[in-house]
C-alpha cells in the first residue's frame, strides 16, 4: 500500500479535480500542500458541482481534509468556501478539516499590493489573479508573515503588524495605491479569528500518527510543474514550488511519505494568463479544442489558450517532478479531428533543441517541431476500457508514453467520475 501525490504536468487546469476525486474515494486523508486560492478544482458528484480553491477535494467524499503549512491561506476566502459547500450539504468541522497552525495568512494588504504591482507592469504584466498569493509568500520568506498560530498571541501579533505595514505601506505609497492602517488589519483579524482558530492544529503530528496507523494519504497539488517558481516558465509562474517533493515540506511529513507520484496531463495543452506557449493554436482548431473542452479557468473564468500536446514539456515535468505515471485527461476532446499533432522538439534561432530553455526571451522564440498522426472518427467519450477505444486513439496514447518516458496509468474519457480507464492502481504500487 502506498500514499499518492497528484501534481499537474502542464500549466494547470489539466483536470486534477476529477482524478483527485476519483482517488479520494480510496484514501483516508487528503492534503493540500502548496499554493493558495488562485487554483481551482471542479468536482461533479451526482447533480452537485463543487468548485474548490482552498478546501482539499477529499472533503467532498467525506474524507479528512488537510491544509498544510505550504499553503498560504486567505481566511475570508476560506470561510466563504466553507459556507458555500456547507450550503451544498457537506460537513466541514474541525474534526473533518485540519489546518496547519504554521500556515501563513493572506491579508487584504497582500491583494492590494498584488493588484497595484500588476497594474504598474503595463505591457509586462505576469497575469496574476491579484489575490495576494505572491506577496504572502514573499512575507513568509522575509520572516514577517502573520501565521495562524499568531492569532492566539495578541502581543506577538501587535508588533508583527507594525513590521508588516512598514514594508507594505511603503510599497503601496510608491505605487500610488491606498495604504492600510494597523486598526484595519486588526479589525480584519478579529473578525476571522474565532472561526479560523478552531481548525488549526499541528498537522505534521496528526499526519505522522495517520502514517503510523497505516492510513492512506493523498497529497493534492495545485497549479502544475510549468508554473513552478523554479522549474516553470519564469517569471510567468506561481509563487510556490509545485513539484511532488514539496508535498513533504509543505505538510510536514518525511520525503518517503510522498509515495506514487501521479502526473496529470491533458491530451492537448492549455494555459491561462500570460507567458510562453510554444504549441498554442490561434486557428479554428484551437478554438474547437477550447469549445469542446469548455476551457475556462475555474477560479478566474478567463478563457484558456489551447494548443497541441507538448511532449517536450511533459517529459521535463516527469523528470523534475518525479512522476511515476500519467493520468491523461480529456482524450474525448480530440474525437473527430482529421489529424493530431504532437510537439516532439523545438527550433530556436534556426537550431534544433530537445529541451525547453530557461531564459524568457528564448522561451518566447522557440518554435515547435511536430509529429502528425491520423485522428479517429469514432468516439472515445465515456469509454471505460481499452477495448472501447478506437485503434488510432490507442496509438496516440502509446506514442505519448514513448515521448514522455512515462506510462499512462489512468485515462479519463469524459468529465464523469466513472468514465476512467485504470491501467495501474497508484495506491497499490
Task: Please report the domains of the chain, with CATH numbers, ordered by start residue.
Answer: 1-101+202-267+308-331+380-429 (3.40.440.10), 108-196 (1.10.300.10)
Q: How many beta carbons lie within 10 A of that of residue 177, not counting itself? A: 18
> Is the CB of residue 64 less than 8 Å from the CB of residue 224?
no
Continuous H helices in 180-242: 182-196, 203-212
CB neighbour list of residue 297: distance below 8 Å, 6 or more residues apart = 13, 40, 272, 303, 304
CA distance 220 to 2: 15
pLDDT digits (tens, 9 = 90+) for 251-309: 999 999 999 999 999 999 999 888 999 999 999 999 999 999 988 866 667 789 999 99
- Which one of 21, 37, 41, 110 is the catalytic residue? 41
Residue 18, helix vs strand vs coil: helix
Write out pLDDT tens, residues 75-88. 999 999 999 999 99
Mark 194-222 as b/e (b = at least 16 C-beta within 10 Å): eebeebbbebbebbeebbeeeebbbbbbb
Each residue's pLDDT tens digit, 92-109: 999 999 999 999 999 999
* Averaged pLDDT, 347-358: 94
Which three cell numbers mark 293?
473542452
Q: For position 415, what pLDDT does the model report?
A: 83
Instruction: Determine the Cα angle at 56 with ends 265 and 83, to 5°.
Output: 130
Put residue 275 in one of left, alpha, beta given phi > 0 → left and psi -120 to 50 → alpha.
left
- Strand segments, DSSP code E, in 186-338 are 200-201, 217-220, 260-266, 269-271, 305-307, 309-310, 325-329
Residue 303 has what pLDDT? 86
Please determine, for residue 121, whether its predicted confidence score (pLDDT) is greater than 90. Answer: no
Q: Average pLDDT of the chain? A: 92
Task: Give the model's pLDDT for residue 170.
Answer: 96
The pLDDT value given to residue 53: 86
User: Which residues are CB-contacts of 265 (< 8 A; sequence separation ≥ 6)?
Assistant: 8, 9, 10, 14, 309, 314, 326, 327, 328, 329, 404
Distances (CA, A) of 213 to 39, 204, 207, 285: 31, 14, 10, 51
Please tell me the distance from the alpha carbon of residue 13 to that of residue 17, in angstroms, as a whole number. 9
* C-alpha R_g of the chain: 22
Q: What is the DSSP letter of 105?
A: B
E strand or H helix at 416, and its extent? none
Task: Output the pLDDT for position 299.
Answer: 61
pLDDT tens figures, 296-342: 866 667 789 999 999 999 999 999 999 999 999 999 999 999 999 99
- Nearest Cα to Cα of residue 345 among 374, 369, 367: 369
- Contact criterion met (CB below 8 Å) for 105 and 146: yes
DSSP for 143-188 reads T-PPBGGGGG-HHHHHHHHHHHHHHHHHHHHHTT-----HHHHHHH
Q: What is the pLDDT of residue 1?
A: 55
pLDDT score of 38: 74
pLDDT (average), residues 21-48: 84
Tens digit of each residue's pLDDT (9 = 90 or more) over 158-169 = 899 999 999 999
- In 10-107, where does DSSP find H-type helix? 16-24, 75-87
Q: Reply yes or no on whether 37 is catalytic.
A: no
Q: Tens of pLDDT along 375-415?
A: 999 999 999 999 999 999 999 999 999 999 999 999 999 88
- Residues with Cβ < 8 Å from 89, sequence gap 6 or more? 48
Q: Which residue is listed with cell 505515471?
A: 325
Residue 43 has pLDDT above 80, yes or no: no
What whole-number distance in Å separates Cα of residue 267 and Cα of residue 15?
11
Would you say residue 44 has pLDDT above 80?
A: no
For residue 174, pLDDT beyond 70: yes
Q: Which of 9-13, 128-132, 180-184, 363-367 has the lowest mean pLDDT?
A: 128-132
Cis peptide before 349 (omega within 30 of 0): no
In this prediction the pTM is 0.93
- Residue 429: is its pLDDT beyond 80? no
Max Cα–Cα distance, the chain, nearest Å: 68
Q: What is the pLDDT of residue 298?
A: 62
Is 21 tagged catalytic?
no
Q: How far apart are CA 209 and CA 137, in angstroms?
A: 29
pLDDT at 300: 64
Average pLDDT over residues 343-356: 95
Amino acid at each position: 500500500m502506498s500514499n499518492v501525490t497528484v501534481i499537474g504536468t502542464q500549466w494547470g487546469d489539466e483536470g486534477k479535480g476529477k482524478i483527485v476525486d476519483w482517488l479520494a474515494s480510496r484514501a483516508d486523508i487528503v492534503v493540500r500542500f502548496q499554493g493558495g486560492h488562485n487554483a481551482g478544482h471542479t468536482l461533479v458528484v451526482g447533480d452537485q458541482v463543487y468548485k474548490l480553491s482552498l478546501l482539499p477535494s477529499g472533503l467532498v467524499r467525506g474524507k479528512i481534509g488537510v491544509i498544510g503549512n505550504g499553503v498560504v491561506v486567505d481566511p475570508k476566502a476560506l470561510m466563504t468556501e466553507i459556507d458555500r459547500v456547507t450550503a451544498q450539504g457537506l460537513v466541514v468541522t474541525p474534526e473533518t478539516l485540519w489546518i496547519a497552525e504554521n500556515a501563513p495568512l493572506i491579508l487584504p494588504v497582500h491583494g492590494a499590493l498584488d493588484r497595484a504591482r500588476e497594474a504598474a507592469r503595463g505591457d509586462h504584466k505576469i497575469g496574476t489573479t491579484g489575490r495576494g498569493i505572491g506577496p504572502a509568500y514573499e512575507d513568509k520568506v522575509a520572516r514577517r508573515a502573520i501565521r495562524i498560530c499568531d492569532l492566539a498571541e495578541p502581543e506577538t501579533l501587535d508588533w508583527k503588524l507594525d513590521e508588516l505595514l512598514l514594508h507594505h505601506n511603503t510599497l503601496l505609497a510608491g505605487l500610488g495605491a491606498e495604504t492600510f492602517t494597523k486598526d484595519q488589519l486588526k479589525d480584519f483579524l478579529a473578525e476571522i479569528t474565532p472561526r479560523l482558530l478552531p481548525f488549526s492544529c499541528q498537522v505534521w503530528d496528526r499526519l505522522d500518527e495517520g502514517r503510523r496507523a497505516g492510513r492512506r494519504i493523498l497529497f493534492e497539488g495545485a497549479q502544475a510543474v510549468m508554473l513552478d517558481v523554479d522549474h516553470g516558465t519564469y517569471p510567468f509562474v506561481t509563487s510556490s514550488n509545485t513539484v511532488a517533493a514539496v508535498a513533504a515540506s509543505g505538510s510536514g511529513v518525511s520525503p518517503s511519505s510522498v509515495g506514487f507520484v501521479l502526473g496529470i496531463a491533458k491530451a492537448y495543452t492549455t494555459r491561462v494568463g500570460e507567458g510562453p506557449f510554444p504549441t498554442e493554436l490561434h486557428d479554428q482548431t484551437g478554438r474547437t479544442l477550447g469549445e469542446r473542452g469548455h476551457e475556462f479557468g475555474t477560479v478566474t473564468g478567463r478563457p484558456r489558450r489551447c494548443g497541441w500536446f507538448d511532449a517536450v514539456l511533459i517529459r521535463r515535468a516527469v523528470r523534475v517532478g518525479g512522476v511515476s505515471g500519467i493520468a491523461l485527461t480529456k482524450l474525448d476532446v480530440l474525437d473527430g479531428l482529421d489529424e493530431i499533432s504532437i510537439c516532439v522538439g523545438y527550433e530556436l534561432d534556426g537550431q534544433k533543441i530537445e529541451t525547453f530553455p530557461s531564459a524568457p526571451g528564448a522561451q518566447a522564440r522557440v518554435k515547435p517541431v511536430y509529429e502528425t498522426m491520423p485522428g479517429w472518427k469514432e468516439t472515445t467519450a465515456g469509454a471505460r476500457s481499452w477495448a472501447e477505444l478506437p485503434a488510432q486513439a490507442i496509438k496516440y496514447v502509446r506514442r505519448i508514453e514513448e515521448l514522455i518516458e512515462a506510462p499512462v496509468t489512468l485515462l479519463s474519457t469524459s468529465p464523469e467520475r466513472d468514465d476512467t480507464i485504470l491501467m495501474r492502481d497508484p495506491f497499490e504500487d
